[in-house]
Amino acid sequence: MLNSVKLIHWEFILPLGVLGIIWHLLSLYLDNKILLPPPMEVLSAWWQIFNNELPGDIFASLLHLSLGYTIGVSSGFLLALLAVSFSPCEIILDMLVEILRPISAIAWIPIAIAIFGIGELVPVVLIVYVSLFPIYINTVAGIRSVDKRIVSVASTLGASRHYIILRVVLPAALPYVFSGARLSMGVSWMVLIAAELIGGGSGLGWRSFWYEQFFAMHKNMAVILTVGVLGFTLDWLLRKLSARLTHWSPDTRLEG
């Protein structure tokens, strides 16, 4: 189930084709283009908006995502380094994470709207918030789990502290960092769509409700499909990237 990485493969295409046929028959049966637009109509709507507003929406969404994700992931990573280096920082940061983590990013949306107003900042701020936790937790766990013997060996062989941190500890923690980054990406994508839909002024989430107000459900369905395809692609890219960068790690090899 998790191994459907090969994108172009009949095992992948055939079931989706069957799903499309069922969808088509169902829409013929319902015969209501607002309730269930037929798949061909959704595809042509997709082509139509792809030549008009869709690229702009995708760009806006990716911009929100990349801004928020970059800030969130890099500050989560830096905070984790801080926590590992100084124990008072760790006490405080761990407490903050434990307090804040149960509060889902969604619950912050109304407050973000109240402070920043409906617009671009709401999705960005929420993605920063939501992507911070997985990368922080995983980086701390990764550094803690580095084999002490490797560090001792390196320092016995005369490596400097600087060298040990950069060339021994961080690479050993890298697989954890990457799985944190992937988790961050997954939640970021979900929160991005929610934040745009509820409190954004642009992007795919916002667009889908915009169509809904005109009962243009075929276009709305096309946006939903785009969200799915993009979400899948982002996860796939990150998986490839982490496999490429941490190919030496036994964890990666296990995942295949």
Partner 1 sequence: MQKFWIRILFIVAILILWEVSVILDGRLEKFPHPVGVWEALFRIGNERTLWVAVTQSLTRVLIAFVIAFILGVVFGIVLGSFTILDRALSPIIDALRSIAPIAWIPMAVMWLGITGKAAIFIVAYAAVFPIILNTYHAVRMIDRSLIHAARTLGASKLLLVYDVMFKSALPNILVGARISMGFAWASIIAAELAMGIKIEFGSKQDFGLGQLMVNTLFIERDINALVLYMLTIGVVGFGIDYFMRVVRRLSSPWALL
H or E segment to which residue 104 belongs? none
4 scored as a contact of partner 1 (CB under 8 A): yes
* Three-state SS at 222: helix
Size (the chain), residues: 256
Site track for partner 1 across 22-61, x = CB under 8 A:
------------xx--------------------------
74-82: long-range contacts at Cβ-Cβ below 8 A with a sequence spacing of 24 or more? 75/128, 75/132, 76/131, 76/132, 76/133, 76/134, 76/135, 76/136, 76/139, 76/180, 76/184, 77/135, 77/136, 77/139, 77/177, 79/132, 79/136, 80/135, 80/136, 80/139, 80/140, 80/143, 81/139, 81/143
Tell the smallest beta-carbon distance from residue 157 to partner 1 (Å): 36
256 touching partner 1, by CB under 8 A: no
Residue range at the interface with partner 1 (CB under 8 A); choices 119-127, 139-147, 199-207, 246-254: 199-207
194 binds partner 1 (CB under 8 A): yes
The answer to the question of residue 255 lying near partner 1 (CB under 8 A) is no
Minimum CB distance to partner 1 smaller for 99 or for 157 = 99
Q: Does 212 bind partner 1 (CB under 8 A)?
A: yes
CB of 67 to partner 1, least distance (A): 18
* The one segment of 155-163, 173-181, 192-200, 245-253 that binds partner 1 by CB under 8 A: 192-200
